[in-house]
Amino acid sequence: MLKQKNPPVDRAYTTAVIIFILGLGTLLPWNFFVTASQYFNERLAANDATNNTQVEKAKHYNFDSWMTFLSQLPLLLFTLLNSFLYQWVREWLRVAFSMVSILLLFSLTAMLVQVPLEPQTFFSVTMATIWFISTFSAVLQGSMFGVVGRLPPGYSSVFMSGQALAGIFAALAMLFSVLSNTNGSTAALGYFITPCVATVGTLLCYLLLPHLEFARFYLNGGRNDKLDTEKDLFECPDKKPLNGHNPEATALQESMFFAELNQNKDRSSVFAVFKKIWVMALCVTCVFAVTLAVFPVITVRVKTVYTENIAWEKVFTCVCCFIMFNGMDFLGRIAPSLVQWPSKESCLFPVAVISRVIFIPLFMVCNIPDSRLNVLFSHDLAFVTIMALFAFSSGYYASLCMAYAPQLVQCKDCETAGALMTFFLALGLSLGASISFLLGKLV
């Protein structure tokens, strides 16, 4: 048996940092639009005389539900299409073209801040922009999951942590915009310029990735011009992608992961892989269906009881809805690196995931003005507590689902498992967006 030569080391964790930034970049478009919900609703209501109150004007367009639906439906459709695109369009072209297109569409959104438009025209243009940005984001996200799938397993959790940070990034940008002393249009312009700059930075990081020895080694299927390609062949162990406490174990795991990639290039069929991961696939669908059913459509309607405090009322939605959600979601996504419960074999795992449905009625009886339902949790603290548990559980179980699925298949099928999980993740988002229309009518 030939002596195995260890793969390159990720020096200074440069590849991990870039993967983190790429994860952030894939979800920036969605987060910057959803966090700007208040801006869009106020602009639609400003010159619309069809209803009497601003709340009724916002409900007339049902902006939040349409935004959620039109941003998630392309994700589902193009996640499927991306399975065929990767065979015909080279990865670098898909990623680069998607990022440039997102940059141009965000630039258009920023310019529209200063352009006076009739509410109906503004609504139509914004919905079209959301559709196309979401389309390119879906291609981008699917392509990036394929890239991450070729790296050692631990990088999937790094990528998803970056995605979680995208929401915090957008929420803080909105908070600074709200707190700035500039007028509304100037603050909104600065807000939408931010993702333009961030998208350029993300594109530069992607272009840098193939020039790193560690990344090039795995992206080339474990081949490197500077390294011997003859490796030992041995069986891949059970993968623990979230356990980074033992550097030696991690190095051995990565070495074995690489070895099996070279050992067997013949992948199992999609159906065969699905039979092994179907529980995790349905769980990730349920997690995101529940999350998108109420966030942001229902949660942005909750108002503070301290209406006499103008400053707090101004930042309440930004702080208690978006920053709280994204912050706790981020903590939930990194928590499995410390604790993984329930285990992937436990029947308690799907039970715990399904139990999150309780958050739907809990949010609907919070302090929502003009609600058809009785308000049971009127205090701000009640809403913040529910939001914290809701967001943490969303990030935690989503991260566990995406990490457990590749552990249920052989290393050679990890990329297929990742693609399937991405599809069911998108399916959950689309289902949640559809359910949000019904829930929006009930409150």
Predicted confidence band of residue 56 (pLDDT cuts 50, 70, 90):
low
Name the more confident of 243 and 56: 56
Predicted pLDDT of residue 441: 86
Instruction: Indicate the Cα dihedral angle 416, 337, 13, 138, nearest 10°.
Output: 40
pLDDT surpassing 70 at residue 3:
no
Predicted pLDDT of residue 233: 30
φ/ψ region of 338 (left if φ > 0, alpha if ψ in -120 to 50, else beta) reads alpha
Q: Which of 20-24, 283-287, 385-389 has the lowest mean pLDDT?
A: 20-24
Name the more confident of 149 and 344: 344
For the record, the structure tokens of 91 come out as 């990865």
Predicted pLDDT of residue 229: 37
Predicted confidence band of residue 227 (pLDDT cuts 50, 70, 90):
very low
Tens of pLDDT, residues 255-280: 445 544 454 456 788 889 999 999 99
Only one residue has tokens 């074995």, namely 256
pLDDT surpassing 80 at residue 51:
no
pTM score, whole prediction: 0.78
Predicted pLDDT of residue 278: 96
Predicted confidence band of residue 364 (pLDDT cuts 50, 70, 90):
very high
Query: What count of Cα atoms within 13 Å lies in the side-chain half-sphere of residue 142?
Result: 30
Tens of pLDDT, residues 192-220: 998 999 999 999 999 999 898 888 888 88
Name the more confident of 361 and 1: 361
Predicted pLDDT of residue 78: 75
Predicted pLDDT of residue 230: 35
Q: What is the mean pLDDT of residues 323-344?
A: 90
Eight-class DSSP state of 365? T
CB-CB contact of 440 with 297 (8 Å) = yes
At residue 366, φ and ψ (nearest 5 deg) are -80, -175
CB-CB contact of 319 with 168 (8 Å) = no
- How far apart, in whole angstroms, are the C-alpha atoms of residue 327 and residue 342? 23
Q: What percent of the chain has pLDDT over 90?
A: 40
- How far apart, in whole angstroms, are the C-alpha atoms of residue 233 and residue 256? 9
Predicted pLDDT of residue 49: 52
pLDDT surpassing 80 at residue 4:
no
DSSP string, 281-345: HHHHHHHHHHHHHHTTTTGGG---S-TT-HHHHHHHIIIIIIIHHHHHHHHHHHGGGT---S-TT
Predicted pLDDT of residue 59: 58
- How far apart, in whole angstroms, are the C-alpha atoms of residue 221 and residue 403? 21
Predicted pLDDT of residue 268: 83
Q: What is the mean pLDDT of residues 401-406?
A: 89
Name the more confident of 76 and 132: 132
Q: Cβ atoms within 10 A of the Cβ of 35, count?
A: 28
Q: What is the mean pLDDT of residues 341-351?
A: 94
Predicted confidence band of residue 347 (pLDDT cuts 50, 70, 90):
very high
pLDDT surpassing 90 at residue 392:
yes
Predicted pLDDT of residue 73: 84
Predicted confidence band of residue 242 (pLDDT cuts 50, 70, 90):
very low
- How far apart, in whole angstroms, are the C-alpha atoms of residue 395 and residue 326? 9
Of 191, 375, 362, 401, the residue nearest 280 (C-alpha)? 401
Q: Which of 64-78, 159-173, 176-190, 225-239 has the lowest mean pLDDT?
A: 225-239
Classified by CATH at the fold level, domain 11-224+233-442 comes out as Growth Hormone; Chain: A; (1.20.1250)
pLDDT surpassing 90 at residue 432:
yes
Q: What is the mean pLDDT of residues 230-242?
A: 39
Q: What is the mean pLDDT of residues 310-315?
A: 90
pLDDT surpassing 60 at residue 235:
no
- How far apart, in whole angstroms, are the C-alpha atoms of residue 421 and residue 278? 9
pLDDT surpassing 70 at residue 191:
yes
pLDDT surpassing 60 at residue 393:
yes
Q: What is the mean pLDDT of residues 78-107?
A: 81
* Greatest mean pLDDT among 46-55, 141-150, 235-244, 272-281: 272-281
Predicted confidence band of residue 104 (pLDDT cuts 50, 70, 90):
very high
Only one residue has tokens 């630039």, namely 107
Domain ranges of the chain: 11-224+233-442
3-state helix, strand, coil in the chain (%, to 5): 75, 0, 25
Name the more confident of 93 and 82: 93
Q: What is the mean pLDDT of residues 334-359?
A: 93
* Average pLDDT over the chain, rounded to an integer: 82
Tens of pLDDT, residues 130-188: 999 988 888 888 788 778 878 887 787 788 778 878 889 899 988 988 888 777 678 88
